[in-house]
Amino acid sequence: MSLLRHLADKVADLSVFSKDFLFITLDSLRYDTAALALDAGQTRHFRSLVGDWEARRVAATYTLPSHVSMFAGMMPRPARGDDVTLKKEARLFALSTSWQRYRGRNIRYFFDDAPNVPKGFESRGYHTVGVGGVGWFSTEVSASTLWRDQYFQHYLYKPSYGEENPHAFEEQINDLAATLASLPKGRRFVFINVSSTHRPYSNGDGTPSVNAQRLCLQYVDRHLPRLLELMQPGTVGVACGDHGDCMGEDGLWGHNVVHEKVFEVPYAEFQL
């Protein structure tokens, strides 16, 4: 690599890694749920934040592998898959361990020798904070302690963050606010898994339906400004589903099944 190219890369890195980052996953949220809620005016704060949702496809059918994939750089992909006509297709994250050969591509956050995305931000001097939601983030389950032990410097989880609590998102925000207030000054990478859009749709109408999930998303939208107020102006972020739910299509219900409605999720990048 030439000296000029090396200096240009350093300048680009300084610019990219100068802002806080907010990563929101809306657990089990279907794309059509999110799009219909926007069109109906039920989620005006998300409208202000993301504009329109893009339909994308995730790499897995349930929470644990989907998040492991995203934190390895495999974010939800455009419905068309890879665009073979582009030599530098845009990607949000990449780790050198698996993406070294793609270093010249249009990758916004590239991490050298980081085992996962949160650790990559940590290696760049960020304070990293994770807020679990559904049971796959529980610190009481051995299979889920990896988030606390291998991903985040500061990790928050309580059973009341789970999907059966109709006030879960509010509790997550309250505890996140206290944690952020306790941190020294510096850049922050904040992740939150929002359980409120997961079955049994505790803020819904009592049915396993798109309408019930829309009502749950409307609840999240009401409290979204409080989450965003915790972040610095200029914060960059992404909001997306981690998988969807079947709601009777082809006789299927829920997730962890291979179906289009499970793979299709809303996706949007934003800046505050």
pLDDT, tens digit, for every residue of 23-44?
Answer: 999 999 999 999 999 999 999 9
Beta bridge partners of 187: none
For the chain, percent of residues with pLDDT exceeding 70: 88
| Token reading at 262 | 């499970």
**Residue 236, Cα to own-chain centre: how many angstroms?**
12
pLDDT of residue 94: 87
Residue with tokens 């997550």, as numbered in its chain = 172
Where helices occur in the chain by DSSP H, the ranges are 3-16, 31-39, 44-50, 63-70, 96-99, 117-123, 146, 168-182, 210-229, 260-263
Nearest-angstrom CA–CA distance, 111 and 108: 10
* Of residues 90 and 34, more confidently modeled: 34
pTM of the shown model? 0.92
CA dihedral 16→109→265→211, nearest 10 degrees, is -40
